[in-house]
Amino acid sequence: MVHMGNFWPAPHTDSPIRYEQAIPGSKSMTNRALVLAALADSPSTIFRPLRSRDTDLMAAALRSMGVGITDHGDASTTAPSGAVGDKTNTATAWKVQPGPLRGAELDCGLAGTVMRFIPVLAALADGPVRLDGDEQAYGRPLGPVLDALRQLGVDVEGDTLPCTITPSPTAPRGGEVTIDASGSSQFVSALLLAGARFPEGLTIHNSASSLPSLPHITMTLDMLRQAGVAAKMSADERSWTVHPGAIRGATWDIEPDLSNATPFLAAAAVTGGAVTVPGWPEHTTQPGAQFVSIAEEMGCQVELADGRLTVTGPAPGALRGVDRDFGDIGELTPTVAAMAALASTPSRLTGIAHLRGHETDRLAALVTEITRLGGKAEELPDGIAITPSPLSGGQWLSYADHRMATAGAIIGLRVPGVDVENIDTTGKTLPGFADMWEAMVRQGAHHQGVHRQDTVSDRD
């Protein structure tokens, strides 16, 4: 790996990229499976979990609270028939042995799922749980989860990281809570995942007029049901109920992370090439699956056959802009914004005011970095508008945000001289991204046919 100080020279190509790239497991599914396994009534096995900073932080937090999580199997390990999401590809697994939860001091890093899911588990522990994390995480919204715990009678000190949850002598009874969920769907998922352990279950009402990333709540409900928990959403999508009862130990087979697949598919879109991702599920709750319709709207051809998704980009200069509400798929914004900066017509990505509270203020960051390279981008009250303009090389700052880093890599494919700051921040959800990306450009842009590259090992 070549670095320029803390900057990575993004690979550039004038040729269409033709490639096949396997993608590691879904972060969202891995961390939900870990939480459900920690609260289950019997051991669980998680096949093909994502191993990244976010998931390792979740596993470390649960271990500190008394949950047994051990590596199981090797590269030949396959999920048995009947595993949740059963597939035939191979990888390692985690064995999870639930146990009584205990007090602990935990590091959440910059992981939203850890800082939001763990406090609800902490309410079930036998002692205080103190959560801290990266300084940048102190600004990420956390209050609605902590307010919900206070409504349930739990002693909470703090409204952001760092904070301390001190359980009462008896576990929270549960019941009804009302929160403002406009900042993140993770607030709702956090309460749903542990709600079955409360004697009265839990009903969550959203007091806000909006809710971002609803598909992630659908994912949570789906996984709860697969663990034997009765859970549902109201018809108006403003309330959710999880009934009390046992959470069953389960065998989980984690799907590839479809959001992490999108930068590679975008490489096909912006170079007029063709990139295939194997293991693409026919049915999924992952929001990343909606990239398919976005790519088609921008002029790409998409084919799903035998679990293999192929995106073929249009001829150079024919990539179109997109005008779309991204409220349910905000995590795709950096990828699509990078594509839009290279498109031939303007784009408007709206419904994403909540991205101001992600790893960084993604709206401001995208506008700043696209503009830095000579592009035209404008921040909207709830989104971003991008007008195509000739781009030139320069530094692209990542703000310790994995998706900002991958967005810079996409632009660097077509714009020579783009240097992406701190590319290793991609290790938050996709360790080894830089090596995967360099191999794609090296092999996929200079040879005929489709070249295959499996996932690489953790570079951290």
Angle between helices 186-195 and 27-38 (to 10 degrees): 30
Is 80 a member of any domain? no
pLDDT, tens digit, 9 for 90 and up, residues 383-432: 999 999 999 999 999 999 999 999 999 999 999 999 999 999 999 999 99
* Length of the chain, in residues: 460
Q: Give percent above pLDDT 90 in the chain.
A: 89
| Cβ atoms of 363 and 382 closer than 8 Å | no
Whether pLDDT at 9 is above 70: yes
Domain boundary pick from 203, 229, 251: 251
Q: Give the pLDDT score at 19.
A: 97
Q: What CA–CA distance (Å, rounded) separates 266 from 336?
A: 8
- The tokens of 403 are what? 């998706």
Whether pLDDT at 2 is above 60: no
Task: Determine if residue 64 is labeled as part of a ligand binding site.
Answer: no
Task: Determine if residue 442 is labeled as part of a ligand binding site.
Answer: no
Task: Determine if residue 197 is labeled as part of a ligand binding site.
Answer: no
Residue 61 sits in a domain whose CATH number is 3.65.10.10
Whether pLDDT at 344 is above 80: yes
Name the pairing type of β-strands 347-350 and 323-325: parallel
Whether pLDDT at 452 is above 60: no
Is 79 a member of any domain? no
Name the pairing type of β-strands 376-380 and 274-278: unpaired
Q: Give the pLDDT score at 92.
A: 87
Average pLDDT, the chain: 92
Return the bridge partners of 176, or none.
Answer: 203
Whether pLDDT at 148 is above 50: yes
What residues make up the domain containing 198?
Answer: 27-74+86-251
| Cβ atoms of 327 and 210 closer than 8 Å | yes
Task: Determine if residue 112 is labeled as part of a ligand binding site.
Answer: yes
Order across the sheet with 376-380: list the strands: 323-325, 347-350, 383-387, 376-380
Same-domain check for residues 317 and 186: no
Active-site residue list = 331
Same-domain check for residues 267 and 211: no
Is 456 a member of any domain? no
Same-domain check for residues 247 and 309: no
Same-domain check for residues 167 and 294: no
If one counts every other C-beta atom within 10 angstroms of the C-beta of residue 221, the result is: 19
Q: Give the pLDDT score at 183.
A: 93
Confidence of residue 449 (pLDDT cuts 50, 70, 90): very low
